[in-house]
Chains A and B, each alone.
Chain A
Amino acid sequence: MTVAEENREDAPGEGAGDPLELRDIVKYYEKPGQGRVLVLDEIDLVVEEGAFVSLLGPSGCGKTTLMNVVAGLVEPNAGTMRRGGRDVSPEDLSLGYIFQEPRLLDWKTVAGNLEFALEARDVPESEWDERIERYLSMVGLADEGDNYPSRLSGGMKQRVAIARALATEPEILLMDEPFSSLDEITARDLREELLDIWQREQKTVLFVTHDINEAAFLSDYIYMMSHGGEMFARREVGIDRPRNYDDPAIAQRETELYREFHEHVVK
């Protein structure tokens, strides 16, 4: 892994280059009749600059909530987010979000959907055309700018969502099970392309998934979560890139990680 160490010429925001650290994040909801439901139980998380980090766990373990804390969509009840020795809030970070669903505006063209994000993020209008062209070609949709999302396949819609997030040129990409509703063939293609983009553009990725194989193939390191918002392990994947889907080392790593989950849950 050398990407993390490379210099970033256009590093935006203060503290860029330092890892993003979350400390003792707690989130609970008050539910009538059930009292307090704990979703995040004193979570510590370190997102290294330029790294591909996965949050892995079963459905309902709180991994999406944790990512929404980083995104600023969920306010934690306790805990701090720090970077370079300073407290930071989500507004200080340069973030892009790719949701589980594409969440496109169906009444706008593909290019119009990118424009929506550029306008919302106050990007000068003079830069729009160039950025739209650049990021649509990056996801292989250069010719679809004038098309409507409702005429695209599920995989193409998710590509548009990726282009929309990239177009705001964020430092950190947050991805919440972005390929889980796609068929496996489409998903594999997109995972490989995502790795290409991540390395070429030197992004940091925080990736939520319940798919152990996906996490092993994509990540530098993986945080493992179980029910009740407990984070119980951080594991390096430790397989050289570029990685190959058929590499037995990935299958091997998947088995080990699965065993660890199993033991932790049974214990």
Chain B
Amino acid sequence: MSLLVLWYLGGVVAPESIPGVLATLDALVVVLTTPGPYGNMFYYHVWKTAEMLFVTLAVSMVLGTVVGVALGTNELLESAVSSWIYAWLAIPSLVIVFLSAVWIGFDARSGYFAVPAVITPFVALNMWEGARTLDPQLAEMAAFFDAGRYQTFTDVILPQLVPFLFASVRSALSIGWKITLLVEAFLVTRGVGFMFRRYFDQYDLTTMMSWLIIFVVLLVVIEYGILAPLHERVTAWRPDADGVRVTE
């Protein structure tokens, strides 16, 4: 609320650099109601951005988890590969986006390469950390009872990695969305990133702001509508749930 007040005051004091609240609302209404290829224009662009974001997120989660768990459970692999992860993390995302454009072309395919290329090491780093915290005593217990690989993975390993999985999804989502915008701004002609560039070229800060609002709202809805309830559900067994105290 205080942020909104600040924004309003900023718009009054420096209208050339901060768009006014009311003007932005007007622009938002225009964006939301302008017709486009599939129903409304905003729907098409947000859908395209979300599509790239979530497909690449899924790919990166799987790849990063496999790489991270492998690193955390295999010392030989860890000593051989770990420095490469850090090197990979050091490559600026902008360079990766430009390189994929040169290698693959100025279209969406580059995005489907560039976004996972940027966020997979973040996921891998997280899951690597998680795999190092796996309890060897539980592994021994599972081995003693002759649990198979699949049962050990789903019942013993995965539940221990849940906090790290959620941390990974959250950071991958926030980084991934920025890279998706870069790709759309530079390489393609659809999506929220392209909208930003288009209105930036026209120096239309108000419309840019309204697009920003749309996507921020979407991400907040994903966090509170999907991630947080899901997190709560899969960690219902924790002792602090429902305020129940451990009787030790």
In the complex, chain A residues whose CB is within 8 Å of the CB of B137: 99, 101, 103
Among B46-54, B87-95, B239-247, the stretch in contact with A = B239-247
A105 and B138 contact, CB distance less than 8 A: yes
B145 and A105 contact, CB distance less than 8 A: no
Query: Interface digits, A110-139 against B, CB 8 Å rule (1 contact, 0 not)?
Result: 000000110111000000000000000000
In the complex, which of the residues A71, A101, A151, A154 contacts B144, with contact meaning CB atoms closer than 8 Å? Answer: A71
B141 and A99 contact, CB distance less than 8 A: yes
Answer whether A108 and B155 are a contact pair too, CB < 8 Å, given A73-B143, A99-B141.
yes
| Bound form: Cα–Cα A153–B151 in Å | 27
| Bound form: Cα–Cα A106–B234 in Å | 12
Cβ of B75 within 8 Å of any chain A Cβ, yes or no, is no
B140 and A120 contact, CB distance less than 8 A: no
CB distance from A207 to the nearest CB of B (A): 17
A73 and B248 contact, CB distance less than 8 A: no
Q: What is the chain A residue whose CB lies nearest that of B137?
A: A103
Q: What is the chain B residue whose CB lies nearest that of A174?
A: B144
Cβ of B224 within 8 Å of any chain A Cβ, yes or no, is no
| Bound form: Cα–Cα A97–B156 in Å | 17
Answer whether A105 and B156 are a contact pair too, CB < 8 Å, given A119-B151, A150-B238, A152-B247.
yes
Q: What is the chain B residue whose CB lies nearest that of A117?
A: B145
In the complex, which of the residues B147, B239, B244, B248 contacts A116, with contact meaning CB atoms closer than 8 Å? Answer: B147
In the complex, chain B residues whose CB is within 8 Å of the CB of A204: none
CB distance from B244 to the nearest CB of A (A): 6
Which of A71, A106, A154 counts the most B-chain CB atoms under 10 A from its CB? A106
Cβ of A168 within 8 Å of any chain B Cβ, yes or no, is yes
| Bound form: Cα–Cα A105–B137 in Å | 11
Task: Give residues of chain B (86-124) contacting chain A, Cβ–Cβ below 8 Å.
Answer: none
CB distance from A178 to the nearest CB of B (A): 13
In the complex, which of the residues A99, A103, A150, A168 contacts B237, with contact meaning CB atoms closer than 8 Å? Answer: A150
In the complex, which of the residues A121, A148, A151, A153 contacts B145, with contact meaning CB atoms closer than 8 Å? Answer: A121
In the complex, chain A residues whose CB is within 8 Å of the CB of B39: none
B148 and A154 contact, CB distance less than 8 A: no
Which of B140, B155, B239 counts the most A-chain CB atoms under 10 A from its CB? B155
A168 and B145 contact, CB distance less than 8 A: yes
Task: Give residues of chain B (42-78) contacting chain A, Cβ–Cβ below 8 Å.
Answer: none
CB distance from A163 to the nearest CB of B (A): 13
Q: What is the chain B residue whose CB lies nearest that of A157?
A: B248
B144 and A73 contact, CB distance less than 8 A: yes
B151 and A107 contact, CB distance less than 8 A: no
B144 and A150 contact, CB distance less than 8 A: no
Task: Give residues of chain A (141-155) contacting chain B, Cβ–Cβ below 8 Å.
Answer: 148, 150-154
| Bound form: Cα–Cα A168–B147 in Å | 13
Task: Give residues of chain B (202-248) contacting chain A, Cβ–Cβ below 8 Å.
Answer: 234, 237-239, 244, 246-248
Q: How large is the interface on B (under 10, 10 to 19, 20 to 34, 35 or more residues)?
A: 20 to 34
| Bound form: Cα–Cα A116–B155 in Å | 8
| Bound form: Cα–Cα A119–B142 in Å | 11
In the complex, chain A residues whose CB is within 8 Å of the CB of B201: none
In the complex, which of the residues A72, A101, A117, A150 contacts B246, with contact meaning CB atoms closer than 8 Å? Answer: A150
B239 and A151 contact, CB distance less than 8 A: yes
In the complex, which of the residues A103, A105, A120, A150 contacts B159, with contact meaning CB atoms closer than 8 Å? Answer: A105
A153 and B144 contact, CB distance less than 8 A: no
| Bound form: Cα–Cα A97–B143 in Å | 11
Answer whether A106 and B237 are a contact pair too, CB < 8 Å, given A116-B155, A120-B151, A152-B247.
yes
In the complex, chain A residues whose CB is within 8 Å of the CB of B234: 107
CB distance from B204 to the nearest CB of A (A): 51
In the complex, which of the residues B148, B244, B248 contacts A120, with contact meaning CB atoms closer than 8 Å? Answer: B148
B144 and A97 contact, CB distance less than 8 A: yes
In the complex, which of the residues B238, B239, B244, B248 contacts A154, with contact meaning CB atoms closer than 8 Å? Answer: B248
A121 and B159 contact, CB distance less than 8 A: no
| Bound form: Cα–Cα A148–B237 in Å | 6
| Bound form: Cα–Cα A172–B238 in Å | 33
In the complex, chain A residues whose CB is within 8 Å of the CB of B144: 71-73, 95, 97
Answer whether A151 and B155 are a contact pair too, CB < 8 Å, given A103-B137, A120-B146.
no
In the complex, chain A residues whose CB is within 8 Å of the CB of B239: 148, 150-151
B141 and A103 contact, CB distance less than 8 A: yes
In the complex, chain A residues whose CB is within 8 Å of the CB of B244: 151
In the complex, chain B residues whose CB is within 8 Å of the CB of A103: 137-138, 140-141
- Which B residues have a C-beta under 8 Å from some C-beta of A? 137-138, 140-148, 151, 155-156, 159, 162, 234, 237-239, 244, 246-248
5 interchain pairs, CB-CB under 8 A: A107-B237, A116-B155, A120-B142, A148-B237, A151-B247
* Additional A-B contacts beyond A106-B238, A120-B147 (9; CB < 8 A): A72-B144, A73-B140, A103-B137, A107-B234, A116-B147, A116-B155, A120-B146, A151-B246, A152-B247
